[in-house]
């Protein structure tokens, strides 16, 4: 039952705590010596029915760091398992995070309020449960950038400092907590936790809860488990296709980082490509490229197969029939993904009709870009200018443009068969091909300044990324690729 609003505006209705006892450990966040709200997402706060002014007080900072639970909250550490880089860990869980509670937003949607970096829990496995400022601000920035790109994502409600120094890499760093918002934090790994223990009744409860929360129309559908699997496959297919369309590399696609809601979750070692290279890896711990850019669709399929395994008891009483049903759904993922990817690429290429050769046409551009120093974002953005008659726009992106010019000739011939006036086509293309993304060199510069007490570069970058498709005067530097001196960039799971 929803509680009355407190001074901060929280009106909690904590269904996870109420309906899934035994799936978590009730827990209190660590004390924060001097908590402060460094940045509050005021627009999101209002969307959630919260009071931004109250949240930015010292008492609000205590609530947003987990140091003092607000009225109606039921802070808890969620249990889950997961395959991490292919190896299965039967117990992971929220080792540095807490689910503070759930609120209903202005559109009637249930949203988790989740704290990351709020201290040790029973799932911490020897870690300190803390986070530091740089990675917290990185996740804030990335989540808001993805939201502005219209890609499903968790979002930052607040970035808070704790007033505590935290040891990282033999150095002391400023302690921080990220308050983030999600449709839920149900993961493939949540199902794996109970499947690994053979706890079928708990799995059924989890399945019923997931359906009630994310797919209530399936509540009375025969073979609900099959439909849940199918819906989850569809959401993940659409999500990964959108990632690929903007050059996003998640970096740590473990099964505990795949959300049943279809949102992008856990921005650790993620980054966006500059030059197109399908083998792009940023994560310092992904030494074998398991989660490289081009591998993401295949890894999504693999993760979803692990989810299908947990649902086998509910697909059929006959083991062979259950395996057959699950296998058919997983086998269909590749074709589903290719259709979703092609839909993304048709929009990026300005195509409004479908022809058999469109898949090869889209891949042809990527092949032409590979090894040519072509910036992924700017190459696609330049296509609108080509469509308007500036045939040199794409050429400028390439070290050796011969293959690109051959591709461009074929693409222009394809456009001639697509009945849209050039101006309308260019406008539509510029609504899906961003001009501004979180360029790695700009992100690193903003985080470095923030660690030194200067938030201006972070704020400016956040402002630019809020409107990624709209060209803004004086912001040319935010659309340029990294300088040649910015090489061998690596990201870390710093939170």
Q: Which long-range contacts (CB under 8 A, 24 or more apart) does 34-37 make?
A: 34/161, 34/162, 34/163, 34/164, 35/61, 35/62, 35/64, 35/65, 35/67, 35/160, 35/161, 35/162, 35/163, 35/177, 36/61, 36/160, 36/161, 36/163, 37/61, 37/64, 37/158, 37/159, 37/160
Q: What is the pLDDT of residues 2-14, one digit of tens each?
A: 776 689 999 999 9
Q: How far apart are alpha carbons 142 and 149 in whole angstroms? A: 10
Q: How far apart are alpha carbons 281 and 283 in whole angstroms? A: 6
Q: How far apart are alpha carbons 165 and 23 in whole angstroms? A: 32
Q: Which of 237, 232, 257, 253 is nearest to 308 (CA)?
A: 232
Residue 113, H or E segment: strand 110-116
Q: Which residues, at least 6 apart from 413, have a Cβ–Cβ distance to it below 8 Å?
A: none
Q: Which residues, at least 6 apart from 274, have a Cβ–Cβ distance to it below 8 Å?
A: 375, 376, 377, 439, 440, 481, 482
Domain ranges within the chain, ordered by starting residue? 15-185, 189-347
Q: What is the pLDDT of residues 130-151, one digit of tens each?
A: 999 999 999 999 999 999 999 9
pLDDT of 246 strictly over 90: yes
Contact predicate 92/2, CB 8 Å: no
DSSP assignment of 171-226 equals EEEEEEEEEEEES---BHHHHHHHHTTT-HHHHHHHHHHHHHHH-GGGTT-TTHHH
pLDDT band at 289 (very low <50, low <70, confident <90, very high): very high
What would the two tokens of residue 166 be?
A: 């935290």
Q: How many CB atoms lie within 10 A of CB 336?
A: 18
Q: Which long-range contacts (CB under 8 A, 24 or more apart) does 405-413 make?
A: 406/368, 407/361, 407/364, 407/365, 407/368, 410/361, 410/364, 411/349, 411/361, 411/365, 411/383, 412/386
The C-alpha angle with vertex 103 and arms to 98 and 106, in degrees rounded to 5, equals 145
Q: What is the pLDDT of residue 170?
A: 82
Contact predicate 237/296, CB 8 Å: no
Q: What is the pLDDT of residue 487?
A: 82
Rounded to the nearest angstrom, the gap between the alpha carbon of residue 13 and the centroid of all alpha carbons in its chain is: 25
Q: What is the pLDDT of residues 151-182, one digit of tens each?
A: 999 999 999 999 999 998 889 999 999 999 99
DSSP conformation class of 396: G
Q: Catalytic pick from 256, 266, 274, 340?
A: 256
Contact predicate 155/116, CB 8 Å: no
In terms of DSSP bridges, do strands 171-182 and 110-116 run parallel, antiparallel, or are they unpaired?
antiparallel
Q: What is the pLDDT of residues 248-260, one digit of tens each?
A: 999 999 999 999 9
Percent share of the chain, pLDDT over 90: 94
Task: Specify whether 390 is catalytic.
Answer: no
Q: What is the pLDDT of residue 488?
A: 79
Q: What is the pLDDT of residues 291-340, one digit of tens each?
A: 999 999 999 999 999 999 999 999 999 999 999 999 999 999 999 999 99
Q: Which of 366, 386, 391 is nearest to 376 (CA)?
A: 366
pLDDT of 473 strictly over 80: yes
Q: What is the pLDDT of residues 53-76, one digit of tens each?
A: 999 999 999 999 999 999 999 999
Q: What is the pLDDT of residue 231?
A: 98
The mean pLDDT of the chain is 96
pLDDT of 495 strictly over 70: no
Q: What is the pLDDT of residues 416-457, one digit of tens each?
A: 999 999 999 999 999 999 999 999 999 999 999 999 999 999
Mean pLDDT to the nearest integer, 390-404:
94
Q: What is the pLDDT of residue 126?
A: 84
Q: What is the pLDDT of residues 478-493, one digit of tens each?
A: 999 999 888 878 888 7
pLDDT band at 1 (very low <50, low <70, confident <90, very high): low
pLDDT of 280 strictly over 90: yes
Q: Which of 255, 299, 261, 306 is nearest to 81 (CA)?
A: 255
Q: What is the pLDDT of residue 4?
A: 61
pTM exceeding 0.85: yes
Mean pLDDT to the nearest integer, 397-425:
95
Q: How far apart are alpha carbons 239 and 263 in whole angstroms? A: 7
């Amino acid at each position: 039952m929803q509680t009355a609003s407190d001074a901060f505006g929280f009106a909690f209705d904590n269904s996870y705590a109420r309906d899934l006892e035994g799936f978590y450990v009730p827990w209190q966040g660590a004390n924060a010596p001097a908590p402060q709200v460094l940045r509050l997402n005021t627009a999101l706060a209002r969307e959630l029915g919260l009071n931004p002014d109250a949240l930015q007080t010292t008492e609000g900072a205590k609530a947003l760091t987990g140091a003092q639970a607000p009225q109606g909250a039921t802070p808890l550490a969620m249990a889950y398992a997961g395959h991490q880089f292919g190896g299965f860990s039967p117990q992971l869980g929220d080792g540095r995070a807490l689910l503070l509670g759930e609120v209903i937003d202005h559109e009637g949607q249930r949203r988790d309020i989740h704290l990351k970096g709020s201290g040790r829990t029973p799932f911490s496995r020897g870690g300190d449960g803390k986070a530091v400022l740089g990675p917290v601000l990185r996740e804030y920035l990335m989540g808001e950038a993805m939201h502005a790109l219209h890609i499903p994502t968790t979002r930052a409600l607040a970035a808070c400092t704790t007033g505590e120094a935290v040891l990282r890499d033999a150095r002391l760093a400023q302690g921080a907590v990220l308050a983030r918002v999600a449709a839920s934090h149900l993961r493939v790994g949540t199902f794996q936790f109970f499947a690994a223990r053979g706890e079928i009744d708990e799995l059924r409860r989890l399945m019923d809860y997931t359906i009630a929360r994310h797919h209530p129309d399936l509540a009375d559908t025969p073979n609900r488990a099959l439909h849940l699997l199918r819906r989850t496959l569809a959401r993940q297919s659409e999500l990964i296709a959108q990632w690929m369309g903007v050059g996003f590399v998640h970096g740590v696609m473990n099964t505990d980082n795949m959300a049943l809601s279809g949102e992008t979750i856990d921005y650790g070692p993620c980054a966006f490509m500059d030059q197109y290279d399908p083998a792009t890896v940023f994560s310092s711990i992904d030494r074998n490229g398991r989660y490289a850019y081009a591998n993401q669709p295949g890894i999504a399929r693999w993760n979803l197969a692990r989810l299908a395994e947990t649902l086998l008891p509910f697909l059929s009483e006959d083991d062979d029939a259950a395996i057959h049903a699950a296998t058919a759904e997983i086998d269909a993922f590749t074709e589903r993904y290719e259709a979703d990817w092609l839909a993304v690429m048709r929009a990026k290429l300005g195509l409004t009709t479908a022809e058999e050769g469109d898949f090869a046409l889209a891949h042809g551009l990527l092949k032409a870009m590979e090894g040519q120093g072509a910036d992924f974002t700017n190459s696609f953005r330049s296509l609108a200018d080509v469509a308007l008659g500036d045939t040199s726009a794409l050429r400028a992106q390439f070290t050796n443009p011969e293959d690109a010019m051959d591709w461009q000739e074929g693409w222009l011939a394809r456009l001639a068969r697509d009945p849209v006036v050039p101006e309308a086509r260019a406008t539509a293309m510029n609504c899906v091909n961003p001009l501004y993304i979180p360029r790695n060199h700009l992100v690193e510069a903003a985080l470095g300044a923030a660690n030194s007490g200067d938030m201006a570069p972070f704020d400016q970058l956040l402002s630019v990324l809020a409107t990624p498709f709209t060209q803004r005067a004086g912001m040319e530097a935010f659309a340029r690729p990294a300088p040649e001196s910015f090489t061998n960039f690596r990201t870390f799971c710093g939170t």
